[in-house]
């Protein structure tokens, strides 16, 4: 089932001089279990789009369905949607506020009506999923490193047992190791649980490495929607809307001109390594 958007439009400040159309006739289907990368230049509509997925923003026109139920029906309970579609904002650690890590992660389950024991059980399960250990439970969230804070914030969403988790630039501000740790953890979660993940990122390298499908936004519209290889083959079109293919793709295209046996549609460093090693082995 999943999420379906039909002719969704959204206008900020529709009745005054600051009127701005942020989404234009967006039609999308997101299937259960997908790992999607959502990319686009600043102002392309990415953040507006993801805030529609769990009802934080209501479409000016159009319809959104979650598991074939129209979320705009009068009898539809938004609290049910928000327990199933979790949204992790950029710099989510700014939302941490409890005295301990465990209490912070318990907050979401308690808001769903779970008793203390059930909330603690869910919190411990979620913290384990993001690589936090029992010795972290009693720490203040504010004593943690940036990457650890990010993990705790993600655990707070996971503790609500969502079927979809939307991550808005989850590695913003982290060092390379912290970024890799977070993305590897998210990828592991996807493999282990099968939940749908939508990753908003400005890093073409990250989306090329982790996701199975890329949605490109431009001026509030869906500009492209395909596999990473197909999207990054169209680098000239991406460049016209302020984006680019991963750097390794451009390097391999130049090498392909010298060594035609090398593929030119490489999108990750790992693929480039394998292709180069294969080429060297073939020359022996």
Tens digit of each residue's pLDDT, the chain (284 residues): 799 999 999 999 988 888 999 999 999 999 999 999 999 999 999 999 999 999 999 999 999 999 999 999 999 999 899 989 999 888 777 778 889 999 999 999 998 889 999 999 999 999 998 889 999 999 999 899 888 888 898 999 999 999 999 999 988 888 888 888 889 989 999 998 999 999 999 999 999 999 999 999 999 999 999 999 999 999 999 999 999 999 999 999 999 998 888 998 899 999 999 999 988 887 66
In a 3-state reduction of DSSP, which class is residue 35? strand
DSSP secondary structure string for all residues of 88-149: E-SSGGGG--SSSHHHHHHHHHHHTT--HHHHHHHHHHHHHHTT--GGGTTS-GGGS-HHHH
In a 3-state reduction of DSSP, which class is residue 201? coil
In a 3-state reduction of DSSP, which class is residue 174? coil
Tell me: the pLDDT tens digits for 232-242?
Answer: 999 999 999 99
Q: Where in the chain are the domains?
A: 3-245, 246-284
Tell me: the pLDDT tens digits for 174-194?
Answer: 888 888 888 998 999 999 899
- Using CA atoms, how far apart are residues 202 and 37, in angstroms rounded to an integer? 10
Cβ atoms within 10 A of the Cβ of 270, count? 11
How many CA atoms are closer than 13 Å to the CA of 239, on its beta-carbon side? 8
- What architecture is domain 3-245? 3-Layer(aba) Sandwich (3.40)
- The helix (H) or strand (E) run that includes residue 198 is strand 196-200
Q: How many residues does the chain have?
A: 284
CB 168 within 8 A of CB 38: no
């Amino acid at each position: 089932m999943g999420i379906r958007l039909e002719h969704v439009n959204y206008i900020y400040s529709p009745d005054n001089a600051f009127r701005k159309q942020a989404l234009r006739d967006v039609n999308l289907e997101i299937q259960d279990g997908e790992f999607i990368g959502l990319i686009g230049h600043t102002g392309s509509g990415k953040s507006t789009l993801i805030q529609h997925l769990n009802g934080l923003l209501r479409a000016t026109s159009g319809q959104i369905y979650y598991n074939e139920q129209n979320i705009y029906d009068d009898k539809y309970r938004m609290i049910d949607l928000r327990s199933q579609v979790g949204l992790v904002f950029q710099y989510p650690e700014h939302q941490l506020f409890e005295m301990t890590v465990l209490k912070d992660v318990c907050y979401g389950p308690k808001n769903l009506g779970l008793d203390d024991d059930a909330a603690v059980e869910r919190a411990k399960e979620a913290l384990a999923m993001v690589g936090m250990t029992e010795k972290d439970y009693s720490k203040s969230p504010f004593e943690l490193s940036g990457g650890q804070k990010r993990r705790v914030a993600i655990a707070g969403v996971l503790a609500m047992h969502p079927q979809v988790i939307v991550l808005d630039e989850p590695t913003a501000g982290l060092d390379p190791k912290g970024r890799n740790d977070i993305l590897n953890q998210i990828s592991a979660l996807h493999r282990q649980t099968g939940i749908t993940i939508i990753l908003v990122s400005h890093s073409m390298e990250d989306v090329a490495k982790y996701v199975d499908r890329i949605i490109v936004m431009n001026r509030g519209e869906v500009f492209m929607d395909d596999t990473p290889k197909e999207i990054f083959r169209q680098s000239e079109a991406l460049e016209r809307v302020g984006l680019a293919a991963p750097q390794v793709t451009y390097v391999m295209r130049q090498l392909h001109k010298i060594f035609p046996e090398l593929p030119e549609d490489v999108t990750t460093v790992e693929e480039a390594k394998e292709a180069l090693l294969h080429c060297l082995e073939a020359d022996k």
